[in-house]
Every structure is written in C-alpha cells, then in structure tokens.
C-alpha cells in the first residue's frame, strides 16, 4: 500500500438499557452519530450496539458501509461489534465474525470463564486510492472473566496473524483492561514476543491528546479507566487521542469515550 493517511475510531456506544433513564439511547442517539460524523473516521469499530442501535447509526451515516453479526446464536439478537468503513474509500473483499471461545467458529459460544459470548468482527479492505490492503478487526472482551479476556486476546492475535497476509492491520475495541494487563500484553506480544501488533498510544509520533481515561458515568469522567485501545501492525501512528465530546448540557453521549488514531499506511 502506498503511504496514505487513515483515521481509525473505536467507540463503545453503550447498549440501550432502560435503567439509564435520561441517558437512554433515544436521548443519546443523535449525539453518538454526531460524534462519529464530526471526527470523520475512515474506519470505525463500535461496541455494544443492539440491532436497532446499529440500524440507527447506519441510517444516520449513509457514507459508511458496515459488516458484522450479533454475538448471539439467534441472528440479530444481542450486541454487535461492527466494522464500518467509508464506501468511497474502501471496498470490502472479505469479512467475518468469530467467537472468542475454544470454538471460535461456533456462533453464540462462550469461552472459558466469560459471562457472555464475545466476538471479534474483521474486514479485509482494499483501498480504492492505492489498491493496497488493510485488515481491520473490532472486538469487545469480557467484563467478568480474566481468563476469557486473556484467551480471547490470543484468539484475536492468532486470527490477525493468519488473516493479514503481510498487509497493515488495525485491531480496535473495548478490552475491559488497562495497558499492561494480560489481554493488552497478549496483543502487544509482551507475554511471549510473538505479535505483530503495537499499541497505537505508545507508538504515536506525538503525545497522546485528551484524558487518560475512556470511561464516564455520562456526567463526569471516571479516572484511570483507559480500557479502550487501538493496536496497529505495519503502519505509522501520527496521532492518538481520546475524544471527550459533550453535548450542550455537559454530559457525554456514552459511558465510554471514543479513541481516535491517525495513521500513515
């Protein structure tokens, strides 16, 4: 791939939960779409949207094409981890969803000590400008099971290694862990040195922008909870930021903040 600029964004948009009250999806929907529209990513990974939330985002952002399945055995039920890409920039030449379990090709399978089925969605993209390839993968690791997080990260690392075929790769998502904890170490190869991936925050040519957390309670930041990450392989990181966008009343559109990374491929 010729060197070209690429913006990647990962965003846990918070599933639609009635108990969120004034911060339910109906109140947040337009702000989430506006955040995505303003930051103009070329490739985006979302975590936690239910089918109707995913549909709302697709309708609000027609310039993007999306791939991904829900994590449930029942098609369309439960959360998605979709990958979106600008349709005028990329063509998708292959895509799939894998389950982070001992049987990754079995829909709905739950791995190790996980509380729920967890998935990773990948897309192999061809750049219409240069003809080069990019592998993009989006995931959401388990929030309860430490073994499920660690082993799920290994499934992802191995799948990236087998899929990218020497092309640049981006792995993004909510890992439910901090830098230096087991899943992060697995993806970065810090446990055994066997990974093509690098943490984009650490690799950035410029100091990270924004808060040092990616969690909120809608009304304020939750400190020291930087659990959303972007990893890259065979590309340079020009900038890394956590976007603390708020609406007029001063609250955040989700209980996570988006991570935005500018790359040179």
pLDDT at 190: 87
Alpha-carbon Rg for the chain, nearest whole angstrom, is 17
Gap between the Cα atoms of 41 and 85, Å rounded: 8
DSSP 3-state assignment of 23?
Answer: helix
pLDDT at 1: 38
Q: Which domains does the chain have, with CATH numbers?
A: 5-264 (3.60.10.10)
Gap between the Cα atoms of 20 and 40, Å rounded: 28
Show the DSSP H helices in the chain as ranges: 25-39, 51-60, 146-163, 182-188, 200-203
pLDDT at 3: 64
Q: Furthest-apart CA pair in the chain: how many Å?
A: 48
Calculated CA dihedral for residues 167, 171, 172, 176, nearest 10 degrees? 180
For the chain, helix (H) and strand (E) counts, in that order, are: 5, 14
Gap between the Cα atoms of 260 and 209, Å rounded: 9
Task: For residue 21, give both structure tokens.
Answer: 């009250």
Going by the DSSP 8-state scheme, the letter that residue 256 receives in this structure is B
Task: For residue 205, give both structure tokens.
Answer: 């040519």
Q: Per-residue pLDDT for the chain (265 aa), expressed as one digit of tens each?
A: 346 899 999 999 999 999 999 999 999 999 999 999 999 999 999 999 999 999 999 999 999 999 999 999 888 789 999 999 999 999 999 999 999 999 999 999 999 999 999 999 999 999 999 999 999 999 999 999 999 999 999 999 999 999 999 999 999 999 999 999 999 999 999 877 779 999 999 999 999 999 999 999 999 999 999 999 999 999 999 999 999 999 999 999 999 999 999 999 9
Gap between the Cα atoms of 153 and 150, Å rounded: 5
| Other residues' Cβ atoms within 10 Å of the Cβ of residue 107 | 17
pLDDT at 2: 42
């Amino acid at each position: 791939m010729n060197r070209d600029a690429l913006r990647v964004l990962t965003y846990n948009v918070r599933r639609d939960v009635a108990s969120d009250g004034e911060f339910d999806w109906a109140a947040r929907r337009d702000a989430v779409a506006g955040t995505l529209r303003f930051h103009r990513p070329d490739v985006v990974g979302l975590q936690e949207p239910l089918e109707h939330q995913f549909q709302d985002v697709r309708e609000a952002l027609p310039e993007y094409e999306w791939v991904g399945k829900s994590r449930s055995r029942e098609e369309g039920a439960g959360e998605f981890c979709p990958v979106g890409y600008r349709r005028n920039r990329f063509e998708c030449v292959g895509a799939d969803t894998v389950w982070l379990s001992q049987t990754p090709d079995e829909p709905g399978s739950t791995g190790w000590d996980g509380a729920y089925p967890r998935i990773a969605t990948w897309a192999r993209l061809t750049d219409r400008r240069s003809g080069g390839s990019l592998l993009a993968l989006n995931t959401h690791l388990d929030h309860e099971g430490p073994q499920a997080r660690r082993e799920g990260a290994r499934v992802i690392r191995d799948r990236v290694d087998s899929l990218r075929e020497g092309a640049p790769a981006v792995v993004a998502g909510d890992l439910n862990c901090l830098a230096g904890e087991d899943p992060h170490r697995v993806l970065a190869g810090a446990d055994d040195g066997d990974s093509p991936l690098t943490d984009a925050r650490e690799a950035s040519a410029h100091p990270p922008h924004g808060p040092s957390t990616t969690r909120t309670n809608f009304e304020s930041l939750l400190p020291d909870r930087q659990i959303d990450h972007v990893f890259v392989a065979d590309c340079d990181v020009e900038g890394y930021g956590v976007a603390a966008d708020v609406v007029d009343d001063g609250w955040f559109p989700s209980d996570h903040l988006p991570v935005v990374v500018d790359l040179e491929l």
